[in-house]
Amino acid sequence: MSERLSTFAFHHARSKVRRPNYDRARLERGLVHLGLGAFHRAHQALYTEAALETGDLRWGILGVSLRGTAVPATLKPQDSLYSVFERHGETVYGQIVGAVREVAHAPSELETVLNAIADPAVQVITLTVTEKGYCQHPASGELDTTHSDVCHDLDAPSAPRGTLGVLGEGIRRRPRYAPLTVLCCDNMAANGDTVRRLLMQYASLVDGELAQHIETTVAFPNSMVDRIVPAATLESLAWAEKHLGLRDEAAIVCEPFKQWVIENRFAGERPAWEHGGALLVNDVRPYQALKLRLLNGTHSSIAYLGQLRGLEMVADVMTDPSLGLFVRRLMTEDLCATVSAPMGYDVHAYCTDLLRRFENPTLAHRTEQIAMDGTQKVPVRWLPALRESLAAGIERPFLERALAAWLHYLVVGVSESGQVLRINDPGAPALAERLRTAAKDAETAVRTALGHASVFGGEPWSEVFIERLARHLAALRAGGLDALLRL
């Protein structure tokens, strides 16, 4: 077995692997990141790495895990160093990243985390806590005051455990003169505005003074993030070890593409992320809609169809003749028709690139990973496009079938090739329960499911749509995916 990556060992990495060109010992702490998963490490941290390489060493990251111990336990023995390999076919580019200066596990190192957020030298807090980490009702976007984290944090605001509670208490400890930017990097529409609204709702339940402090000192720009980062596997770690020449238990293998579009509304200073290619714009919403609908929307359809068929990887779905064609048409016909491109954007070329990214045969991107948390993702990725289309009297044949496939996936239990479907979504049992109690007839099942307001919203759905969705669900139940796609 090779030597483990660390400050001491990183000079022994293979010469082709790029290393930090700055003196890590001089790195200051200027950023706190909540949610230290692979996505942050393969995305925002690389933009920060590029900013550090210009010689501005103020922007070292304190990376925080809000729950699990696995990431801190892996990174601490490596002095927070890790490697990222970009891979498409034979093309490989690897680098060791030094931007994460230190890591913390919030439940056991809470004071460290809160005091870091309170430190005026920290001017930006970035977040990737997944959609469910914000404790919102997915459909309305309002704070879920019955959520166990919210209840816990409202009871003990100075010893919080949820994202909003940790942010709230950290900000409460900041001096009033110190500006702060909270930058949400999760896949949600108007993500910055959403976090602002939720945090303000939370803060006003704690005390009015905190809400006012946030109001006057904190900015919440919206941002669009993009990079496909599959969860690590034993194979990907072994592959990375071979290319790194060192053992890195936090190694990431991802696609070469990355994009970050950020609204240029920071309260204080920020790293020069444009050196890593970030685009600073006035309005991020058109980019966000394009990405959430075309990339994430198609991704979710790949996930549920793939899961139902028993296909493990995204690339397997893309090469399956009938499913591959279905998802291509879902993207280029249904979803494409619902987006308006930012100025100068070639949506057709964007779609072609997306399809090529999904086809990447060397990326072990599991359909199960994307299928996770559907009750949070579907309301963002599919439902707005569907609502807008239905309001204009337009049928979206592929998207509507995909929605039926998701509902079926929630209750069917096994794939068409016999694998047990493991559903990882805290919001799923309530919806599945509705589908099950109304199981017999597809139309009743659909009506009951669409009545689940926290996912589908309070507005009624049109009768013609309900009929079509019921027909799709009935076809799936009777004849599986082939019957659905034939309809």
Interface residues with ligand CS2 (CB under 6 A) are: 187, 226-228, 295-296, 299, 369-370, 377
Q: How far apart are CA 331 and CA 354, in angstroms?
A: 10
* Minimum CB distance to ligand CS2 smaller for 421 or for 483: 421
- Closest approach, Cβ 472 to ligand CS2, in A, equals 22
* Minimum CB distance to ligand CS2 smaller for 320 or for 373: 373
* Minimum CB distance to ligand CS2 smaller for 100 or for 224: 224
* Minimum CB distance to ligand CS2 smaller for 87 or for 174: 87
Ranked by CB distance to ligand CS2, the top (closest) residue is: 299
* Minimum CB distance to ligand CS2 smaller for 101 or for 381: 381
- Closest approach, Cβ 59 to ligand CS2, in A, equals 23
* Minimum CB distance to ligand CS2 smaller for 226 or for 425: 226
Q: How far apart are CA 437 and CA 449, in angstroms?
A: 10
- Closest approach, Cβ 306 to ligand CS2, in A, equals 12
Q: How far apart are CA 179 and CA 122, in angstroms?
A: 9
Please state the three-class secondary structure of the chain as a single string.
CCCECCCCCHHHCCCCCECCCCCHHHCCEEEEEECCCHHHHHCHHHHHHHHHCCCCCCCEEEEEECCCCHHHHHHHHHCCCEEEEEEECCEEEEEEECCEEEEEECCCCHHHHHHHHHCCCCCEEEECCCHHHHCECCCCCCECCCCHHHHHHHHCCCCCCCHHHHHHHHHHCCCCCCCEEEEECCCCCCHHHHHHHHHHHHHHHHCHHHHHHHHHHEECCCEEEECCCCCCCHHHHHHHHHHHCCECCCCEEECCCCEEEEECCCCCCCCCHHHHCCEEECCCHHHHHHHHHHHHHHHHHHHHHHHHHCCCEHHHHHHCHHHHHHHHHHHHHHHHHHCCCCCCCCHHHHHHHHHHHHHCCCCCCEHHHHHCCHHHHHHHHCHHHHHHHHHCCCCCHHHHHHHHHHHHHHHHCECCCCCECCCCCCCHHHHHHHHHHCCCCHHHHHHHHHCCHHHHCCCCCCHHHHHHHHHHHHHHHHHHHHHHHHC
- Closest approach, Cβ 296 to ligand CS2, in A, equals 4
- Closest approach, Cβ 454 to ligand CS2, in A, equals 19
* Minimum CB distance to ligand CS2 smaller for 227 or for 243: 227
- Closest approach, Cβ 309 to ligand CS2, in A, equals 18
- Closest approach, Cβ 15 to ligand CS2, in A, equals 31
* Minimum CB distance to ligand CS2 smaller for 81 or for 318: 318
* Minimum CB distance to ligand CS2 smaller for 286 or for 480: 286
Which amino acid, 220?
F
- Closest approach, Cβ 338 to ligand CS2, in A, equals 17
* Minimum CB distance to ligand CS2 smaller for 48 or for 301: 301
